[in-house]
Structure 1
Amino acid sequence: MSSAVLSSAPPQEVAAAPPMGDVLPPVKPRRGLIGFVRRNPTMAIGGFLLLLMVGVAVFAPLLWTVDPTALAPARRTREPSAMYWFGTDMLGRDVYSRVLYGARISLIVGFSVAFFASVIGLTIGLVSGYVRWADSIIMRIMDGMMSIPSILLAIALMALTRGSVQNVILAITIAEIPRVSRLVRGVVLSLREQPYVDAAVAAGSRTPRIILRHILPNTLAPITVQATYVCGAAMITEAILSFIGAGTPPIIPSWGNIMAEGRALWQVKPYIVFFPAVFLSITVLAINLLGDGLRDALDPRMAKRV
């Protein structure tokens, strides 16, 4: 076959197909604050509400409040008005000021319990999940603690001490540690069978190095999500303890104490209980929304975008 035949052009009646256009429109990346809100609406709403409550707690003295512990018997049980936005209680104290300052107690308890329970539960779960001989001992202790409802365990621990914010944080933390440690243990049990962990063991890495370098980073996402739920549960538990008189002292303005003091007048002066209950509900809702958003963002199986 000659070279002229090989180099001959295709016949004129054979036309090349035109290039096909894009079937799908180009994807425009969403950047900035608006893009984040569209990608993570649940996290954005929860984060905004939580930041709002934190701002209320931090800047309470600047939000037209008065001394939340100041007594004024002559102005007791005043209805909400332009002078007293949330009314006054049976001792004449301004409910608006007490509710705003009460946000400090609830947020301090919630954040502190979430931090300490997460750190201690993470440590226990890592050791229990990876060290086989310690698993049976530690988990039996955790199972025994989990057999008692957390609120009853917190009440029993508070009965052994005097009422204070520090003791409330300690009691609720002890009650929440078993749930966090059990979650971390379940994650570690699945991680320790991964090939990269077997490779690290074959390479001669020591157990502490394997836990800190290979196991710990993969547990941070679930423990972060769990910390948000622990925070919300701790705030509700603190309100329950204060409501029944087993939490913070009555002189400290907390949402549970405010509701406990107003329950006797609930039928005639419901606003004393209504306003702190609304603030507590909004705060817990914000934390739960933030946790749901973090779960969707950190878990690729729950991601809504392709």
Structure 2
Amino acid sequence: MSTTFSVETPQVRTKKKDRFVVSTMKRLLKNKLAVVGLIIIAIQVIMAITAPWITSYDPATQQLTKSELPVMSEGHILGTDNYGRDVWTRIVYGAQISLVVAITAVTLGLLGGVVLGMLAGYYKKWDAVIMRFVDLLFAFPGILLAMLIIAILGTSLINVAIAISIWSIPTCARIVRGSVLSIKEKEYIMAMKSMGASDLRIMVKHILPNALAPIIVFATMRMATAILSTAALSYLGLGAQPPTPEWGAMIAQGQDYMWTSPHLTVIPGIAIMLTVFAFNVVGDGLRDALDPNMDLN
């Protein structure tokens, strides 16, 4: 009795991928909260990219004669801080910092987590060693682990990104490992092995693409954690340093003026809240949209 395996042409695979992307977008766009989140994220990205063109002020330039102007003051739509710096300008440039740090941290965390998770899931002999290392990282509460890393490396936004990326590795590694363990037992993986395909080719071209759904969801929701963590670390003085217009640092600088100029803390707080909310609801929407059992009707 012989067994035959059908080989898909690149054109067939491309059509399947296109259909999958279209169906996923249909499911995602049916989720109203996810659509709201996408709009908020799009606005944040546009703000970050067009910052030099949508505001004429410098985020670090002080104008002490215009300090603590209220919201909707002439020439300062969101007022000014205690040094006379335009709050709207600092919010816009703060979006740049938050997104760049979060994207860097999540990307580095994914690289480390995917590599460790793939190796642990595919090679049984490496599984115990890698997962014990992951368990060691899990032994530390996330924010404390990030604070420990920054204490060793020093206070800067680059070190914040590194700390958050290391914090992201264990969760990502477990997610990827679980997917690899189930995928590697599939018939088409066995077929590739019997045809003499190398382990690297099997992992990169056949297992990883089929494990992308949970990775994408993790990355989206991790963006929210990264932005919130960046703000928290900067608020504690471990991230952005004055006069850098980072949202958490802005809250820390404005807290002494809470009663006289509440907009100095409320406005960056709202910016953090909306961005974290947006990435969380988009992540939830993607999780549902990437579920093949969801009904398209």
TM category (shorter chain) comes to 0.7 to 0.9
User: What displacement does 1:185 show?
Assistant: 0.6
CA–CA distance in 1 between the matches of 2:89 and 2:205? 48
Taking a change above 3 Å as real, the CA distance of residues 244 and 35 of structure 1, as seen in their structure-2 partners, is closer
User: What displacement does 1:121 show?
Assistant: 0.9
- Shifted more, 59-68 versus 235-244: the winner is 59-68
CA–CA distance in 2 between the matches of 1:54 and 1:230? 17
Q: How does 1:39-54 map to 2 (within 5 A)?
A: 39-54=30-45
Q: Which runs of 4+ in 1 moved over 4 A?
A: 34-38
Higher share in helix:
2
Q: Does 1:70 align with 2:58?
A: no
Percent identity, please.
Answer: 36
> Counterpart of 2:153 in 1: which secondary structure?
coil
Q: Of 110, 115, 121, which residue of structure 1 is paired with 2:102?
A: 110
CA–CA distance in 1 between the matches of 2:131 and 2:115? 13
Q: Of 224, 235, 238, which residue of structure 2 is paired with 1:243?
A: 235
Q: How does 1:21-100 map to 2 (within 5 A)?
A: 39-83=30-74, 84-100=76-92
Q: Does 1:256 align with 2:248?
A: yes
Taking a change above 3 Å as real, the CA distance of residues 226 and 66 of structure 1, as seen in their structure-2 partners, is same
CA–CA distance in 2 between the matches of 1:260 and 1:215? 45
Q: Please report the RMSD computed on the Cα atoms of aligned residues, expressed in angstroms.
A: 2.0
CA–CA distance in 1 between the matches of 2:26 and 2:154? 49
- Matched with 1:157 is 149
- Matched with 1:291 is 283
5+ residue gaps, structure 1: 1-30
- Aligned AA for 1:131? Y
Taking a change above 3 Å as real, the CA distance of residues 35 and 135 of structure 1, as seen in their structure-2 partners, is closer
Q: Does 1:133 align with 2:144?
A: no
**Which has the higher Rg, Structure 1 or Structure 2?**
1
Q: Does 1:215 align with 2:207?
A: yes
Contact 1:43/1:293, CA 8 A, preserved across alignment: yes
CA–CA distance in 2 between the matches of 1:119 and 1:206? 21
Contact 2:28/2:285, CA 8 A, preserved across alignment: no
User: What displacement does 1:217 show?
Assistant: 1.2
Q: How many residues align?
A: 273
